[in-house]
Amino acid sequence: MPLHHFLDLKDIEPAALHRMVTDAVSRKTGRLDLPKGAPDSDRPLAGHVLAMIFEKSSTRTRVSFDIAMRQLGGAAIVLDASTTQLGRGESIADTARVLSRMADAIMIRTDDHAKLLELAHHATVPVINGLTDLSHPCQIMADLLTLHEQGKPLAGLQVAWFGDCNNVLHSLVEAAGLFRFDLRIATPAGYRPDAATVSAAQAAGAHISVTADPLAAARDADVLVTDTWVSMGQAHQEEKLALLAPFQVNEALFAVAQPDAVFLHCLPAHVGEEVSAEVFESPRSLVFDEAENRIHAQKSVLLWCQGLLG
């Protein structure tokens, strides 16, 4: 039986991704009458262990995967690069082979997509992409669940992205092709998304456009999305922020969007930079729903990886 790695959305059949979203909806609904922190009514991963490798700091990924495993009846262990042999030169290949003997799945959050691919190549258990410099598929699964909860059909949805083009956007582009929603990307020259990723999504049926006009991207949009513009320690922050300032998600953009348009952001946010305080704190902001939904979406990812979703 082939391994079910969860590396990038484009590598997974759309039907499987739809099953994950549907399962996540069901599992979240099934917890409505359960006390906070209680396990799910069924515990399909009892006795299973998820090894989590963190080469980049994390709040939501660390907590959501840990809670997801607990609610499914399993357990998770955290491996920080600074406190393991990875930080002292042990290879990704050897780490993959060792952890495959001990754990049932491996999640990695790293700066280099090549490390994820090497880990999956040598692992004999499923590997999950918790974030790389290229993509963030688990975040997009939580976003799709969040939009589903709002009663927004994914096919034909008008989604607009603003600002920097990063790993979250690349996964969103892949999702546009797989779930057939339209994506308008507003970004300055020099910050365009990866052309090959866009072309592949367009070939899969997505309508994707890139513009330097944020108002044009926001017009009649159902969803407005952005992410942090600068990372810790990134050089030339002042120049980048000045260039991206016209792409802030604010009331002016929502004024031309659909009346029931919503706002998404994977967090952490720099309020006042990529999003105004008025939008971030408004009822249209679903950012904390997104954060919670990482738990439920990742439960379904974990079950799919173990071959338990068909």
* Strand partners of residue 52: 78, 107
Is-catalytic flag, 305? no
The phi, psi pair for 49, rounded to 5°, reads -130, 135
Q: Which amino acid is present at 257?
A: A
Q: Beta strands 49-54 and 105-109: pairing type?
A: parallel
Q: Using CA atoms in the order 217, 219, 225, 227, what is the torsion angle rounded to 10 degrees?
A: 50
Nearest to 301 by CA among 107, 133, 32, 63: 107
Q: Which candidate in 136, 170, 184, 296 is catalytic? A: 136
Please give the sequence-ordered ranges of beta strands (E in DSSP) within the chain, or none if there are none.
49-54, 75-80, 105-109, 127-131, 158-162, 182-186, 208-211, 223-226, 262-265
- Euclidean distance between CA atoms 253 and 247, whole angstroms: 9
Is-catalytic flag, 294? yes
Q: Which candidate in 8, 40, 71, 139 is catalytic? A: 139
Q: What is the DSSP letter of 272?
A: T
Taking the CB of residue 9, how many other CB atoms lie within 10 A of it?
27
Is-catalytic flag, 248? no
Q: Which candidate in 138, 165, 266, 305 is catalytic? A: 266
Q: Is residue 82 a contact partner of residue 25, using CB atoms and an 8 Å limit?
A: no
Q: Which candidate in 5, 60, 294, 296 is catalytic? A: 294
- Euclidean distance between CA atoms 308 and 235, whole angstroms: 45
Q: Which candidate in 60, 109, 170, 296 is catalytic? A: 109
Is-catalytic flag, 165? no
Is-catalytic flag, 139? yes
Q: Which candidate in 227, 265, 296, 305 is catalytic? A: 227
Cα–Cα distance list, 171 to 79, 215, 273, 302 (Å): 25, 23, 23, 18
Is-catalytic flag, 180? no
Catalytic residues: 109, 136, 139, 227, 266, 294
